[in-house]
């Protein structure tokens, strides 16, 4: 589904990603772990198309298309969804406005009919129950006055409505209490299908108790230094990152 | 290029021709007011950027044009008119074309009890005392050349009188449409709202055609004790039009006045909004929005005079400026020595959508009382990059995403308008302008 080859990216002239190689196939869940500042969020943002980052080398293919040539919105329409680490508040824009515009823009891109108000409402109500959000949220401004947990649940709710092919969850577990974590993880798990894929970017393995990864990658200093299966996440939880970093250093 | 003096000459000559068309009306007392006004006009000079009040607003583009007074009703496409009209079942509707009252497009049948609604020229014949008591008092022609000019040519416009204790449920919509034909129009409104009365009035200014025109407009409002008024002013002139307006409001004891001053059109626009508290415990809300593009220039000068204690004023003006357009906001709030327990809040916020758009903002607070709560502030910024990325990352096209954010920015100016149709209309005009 997505093929990242030798990806290098800068921000303000500083190199953050230093040659990432990663392939994710449909039906798979990949976890990207690593200490703070290793480039995890940068990778998520570069895939989503954040313009602050400059890609200096490498390529990203998404279902055969050169992703780096597409605008942020075209990437979303192609089926990429980024669940933000810090969802922004947008006063004056209701969740309904956001979702309706997003959904219809994506449908239009794919040559599908736009949904009318009734169809939209029916769909949205069905998806809300998935993350246990109440309907009055729809009228509220996007993320404005939301608690940390509500913001993250709102991200997963948007994901449920937009039904991406590739979901990237950027530190979705950070700042969540255990109940909210369970709700979010359940939502993500229910949205999993053999046709879509998920990249979970996380610092801790806690979320991976609920969303079981097929592959775990360790990102350090802008490179993936180790990959393994879900047991790697547990090992990292127990032993920390130092041993992986040392192991990688020895290889060089 | 005219010299300022030549242009004045021309207007004075045009006044003489206008006078000759008046026949019997020359004998009415209103005409003396007109003659005094043209006299005042001839003694005044057009402002230049050397005048503090016109520091950022160069009116040379206006002065370099020659306009003749409108003298007839042109053909007008009903579809154009209908674009601006609300449901006639719900709104009392007056339409003026080139300043002339159009019976065809208006609907003033079966007016509610307690309302006198006339064109200003009819009102002076039918209710001379009422008109003369107030006309040209709140907005004086003295020392204001544009008000003097409007007063001199005052013939067309709307007179509203609401009797004591009358609540007029159907809002009154007044539409002034001008054909761009190098003409000038001088719409003049006088709105008298008696004690305990309530009314909602919408004024709309629009134009069609390819040439230029000049709207020089004055509205006077007397809001008596305990009266409640909602006033919406929609300026959607042609992009080659000149528009100068003055809205003067006298607020009596415990009255409540909400103003929405919405600007989309015009090449050179100057709006003066002057409100004065003549009694205590009154409230005044001034909301403003200007959305400009191309080389538009829109200047809003507001003043709120807290002459009496215990009043509240709340002002919010927002600007959205694109291309090489320019905006000016000057908001004065005076709190006089006697005006203890005043609450006065003022905000001007602007978004610049291009590097070449400019806004000059000057909130001004002059406080002579000591027991007051006042604040003011101004901001100029761009669209929030993080918000824009968030919307785009959800698949929304850049243009739409910007429009959504701009609409959100603008919406709190209009969201408190009580008339849903008016809000929807403004939303549509805004969307049209943004996309």
Kindly tell me if the per-residue pLDDT of A204 is higher than 60.
yes
**Mean pLDDT, residues B18-38 taken together:** 87
Interface A–B counts its CB contacts (< 8 A) at 76
Q: Give residue B351's pLDDT.
A: 96
Domain count within chain A: 1
State the smallest CA–CA distance between residue B247 and chain A in angstroms: 29
Share of chain A above pLDDT 70, in %: 100
Instruction: Tell me if B105 sits within 8 A of B77, measured CB to CB.
Output: no
Domain hosting A131: range is 2-251
List the single residue in A51, A101, A142 with the smallest CB-CB distance to B400.
A101
pLDDT tens digit sequence for B168-179: 999 999 999 999
pLDDT-based confidence at B435, cuts 50/70/90? Answer: low
B408 inside 8 A of chain A by CB: yes
Q: Give residue B2's pLDDT.
A: 62
Q: Give residue A196's pLDDT.
A: 94
Chain A hits for B402, CB-CB cut-off 8 Å, are: none
Q: Give residue B26's pLDDT.
A: 80
Which sequence spans correspond to the domains of chain B? 4-279, 383-435
pLDDT tens digit sequence for B85-144: 999 999 999 999 999 999 999 999 889 999 999 999 899 999 999 999 999 988 888 889
CB contact under 8 A, B395 and A102: yes
Task: Output A28 or B427, whichever has higher pLDDT.
Answer: A28
List the single residue in A48, A91, A101 with the smallest CB-CB distance to B393.
A48
Q: Give residue B186's pLDDT.
A: 96
Q: Give residue A252's pLDDT.
A: 61
Instruction: Tell me if B216 sits within 8 A of B149, measured CB to CB.
Output: yes
**Two structure tokens written together for A111:** 């040559």
Kindly tell me if the per-residue pLDDT of B1 is higher than 60.
no
State the smallest CA–CA distance between residue A73 and chain B in angstroms: 4
pLDDT tens digit sequence for B233-261: 999 999 999 999 999 999 999 999 999 99
Nearest CA in chain A to B399: A73
Mean pLDDT of chain A: 91
Chain A hits for B404, CB-CB cut-off 8 Å, are: 93, 97-98, 101
Instruction: Tell me if B2 sits within 8 A of B10, measured CB to CB.
Output: yes
Q: Which of B393, B398, B410 is best to mutate for the A interface (most A CBs within 10 A)?
A: B393
B389 inside 8 A of chain A by CB: yes
pLDDT tens digit sequence for B302-345: 999 999 999 999 999 999 999 999 999 999 999 999 999 999 99
Q: What Rg do the C-alpha atoms of chain A give, in angstroms?
A: 18
**Whole-Å CA distances, B295 to B102, B115, B288, B400, B406:** 33, 42, 20, 23, 19
Chain A hits for B389, CB-CB cut-off 8 Å, are: 50-51, 72
Instruction: Tell me if B270 sits within 8 A of B242, measured CB to CB.
Output: no
What ipTM goes with this model? 0.95
Could you give the CA distance from residue B420 to residue B426 in angstroms, rounded to a whole number? Answer: 10
DSSP assignment letter at B315: E
H runs (alpha helix) in A33-132: 40-48, 72-78, 95-109, 117-128
Instruction: Tell me if B111 sits within 8 A of B130, measured CB to CB.
Output: no
Kindly tell me if the per-residue pLDDT of B218 is higher than 90.
yes
Mean pLDDT of chain B: 94
**Mean pLDDT, residues A82-92 taken together:** 94
**Mean pLDDT, residues B177-199 taken together:** 96
Question: What CATH code is carried by the domain that includes residue A219?
Answer: 3.40.50.300
Rounded (5°) CA angle A42-A47-A48:
95
H runs (alpha helix) in B51-109: 60-63, 78-84
Could you give the CA distance from residue B181 to residue B168 in angstroms, rounded to a whole number? Answer: 37
Q: Give residue B104's pLDDT.
A: 93
């Amino acid at each position: 589904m997505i093929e990242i080859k030798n990806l290098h990216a800068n921000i303000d002239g500083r190199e953050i990603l230093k040659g990432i190689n990663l392939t994710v196939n449909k039906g798979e869940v990949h976890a990207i772990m690593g200490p703070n500042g290793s480039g995890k969020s940068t990778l998520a943002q570069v895939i989503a198309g954040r313009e602050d980052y400059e890609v200096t080398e490498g390529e990203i293919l998404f279902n055969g298309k050169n992703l780096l040539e597409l605008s942020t919105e075209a990437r979303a329409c192609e089926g990429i969804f980024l669940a933000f680490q810090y969802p922004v508040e947008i006063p004056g824009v209701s969740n309904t406005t956001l979702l309706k515009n997003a959904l219809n823009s994506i449908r239009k891109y794919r040559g599908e009919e736009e949904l009318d108000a009734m169809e939209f409402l029916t769909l949205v109500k069905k998806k809300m129950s998935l993350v246990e959000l109440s309907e009055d949220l729809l009228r509220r401004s996007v993320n404005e006055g939301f608690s940390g947990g509500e913001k993250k649940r709102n991200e997963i709710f948007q994901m449920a409505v937009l039904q991406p092919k590739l979901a990237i969850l950027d530190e979705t577990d950070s700042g969540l209490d255990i109940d909210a974590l369970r709700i979010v993880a359940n939502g993500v798990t229910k949205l999993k299908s053999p046709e879509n894929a998920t990249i979970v970017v996380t610092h801790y393995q806690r979320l991976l108790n609920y969303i079981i990864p097929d592959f775990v990658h360790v990102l350090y200093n802008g490179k993936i230094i180790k990959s393994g299966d879900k047991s790697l996440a547990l090992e990292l939880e127990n032993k920390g990152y130092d041993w992986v970093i040392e192991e990688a250093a020895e290889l060089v | 290029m005219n010299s300022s003096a030549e242009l004045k000459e021309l207007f004075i000559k045009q006044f003489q021709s206008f006078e000759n068309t008046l026949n019997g009306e020359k004998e009415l007392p209103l005409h003396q007011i007109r003659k005094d006004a043209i006299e005042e006009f001839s003694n005044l000079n057009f402002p230049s950027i050397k005048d503090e009040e016109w520091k950022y607003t160069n009116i040379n583009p206006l002065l370099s044009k020659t306009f003749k007074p409108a003298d007839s009703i042109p053909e007008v496409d009903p579809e154009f008119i209908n674009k601006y009209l609300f449901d006639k079942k719900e709104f009392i509707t007056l339409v003026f074309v080139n300043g002339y009252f159009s019976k065809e497009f208006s609907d003033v049948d079966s007016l509610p009890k307690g309302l006198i609604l006339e064109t200003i020229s009819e009102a002076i014949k039918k209710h001379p005392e009422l008109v003369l008591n107030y006309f040209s008092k709140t907005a004086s022609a003295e020392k204001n050349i544009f008000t003097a000019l409007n007063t001199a040519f005052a013939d067309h416009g709307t007179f509203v009188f609401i009797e004591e204790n009358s609540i007029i449920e159907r809002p009154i919509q007044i539409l002034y449409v001008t054909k761009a034909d190098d003409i000038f129009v001088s719409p003049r409104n006088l709105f008298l709202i008696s004690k305990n009365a309530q009314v909602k009035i919408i004024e709309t200014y629009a134009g069609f055609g390819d040439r230029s025109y000049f709207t020089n407009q004055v509205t006077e409002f007397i809001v008596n004790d305990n009266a409640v008024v909602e006033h919406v002013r929609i300026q959607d002139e042609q992009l080659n039009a000149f528009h100068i307006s003055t809205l003067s409001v006298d607020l009596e004891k415990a009255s409540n006045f909400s103003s929405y001053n919405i600007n989309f059109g015009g090449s050179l626009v100057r709006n003066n909004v002057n409100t004065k508290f003549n009694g205590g415990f009154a409230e005044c809300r001034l909301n403003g929005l200007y959305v400009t593009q191309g080389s538009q220039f829109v200047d809003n000068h507001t003043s709120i005079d807290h002459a009496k204690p215990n009043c509240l004023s709340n002002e919010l003006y927002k600007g959205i400026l694109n291309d090489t357009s320019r905006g000016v906001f000057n908001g004065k709030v005076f709190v006089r020595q006697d005006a203890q327990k005043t609450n006065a809040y003022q905000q001007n916020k602007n978004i610049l959508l291009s590097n070449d758009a400019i806004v000059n903002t000057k909130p001004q607070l002059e406080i002579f009382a000591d027991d007051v709560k006042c604040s003011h502030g101004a901001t100029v910024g761009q669209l929030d990059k993080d918000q824009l990325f968030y919307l785009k990352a959800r698949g929304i096209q850049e243009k739409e995403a910007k429009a959504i954010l701009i609409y959100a920015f603008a919406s709190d100016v209009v969201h408190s308008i009580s008339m849903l149709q008016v809000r929807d209309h403004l939303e549509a005009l805004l969307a049209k302008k943004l996309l």
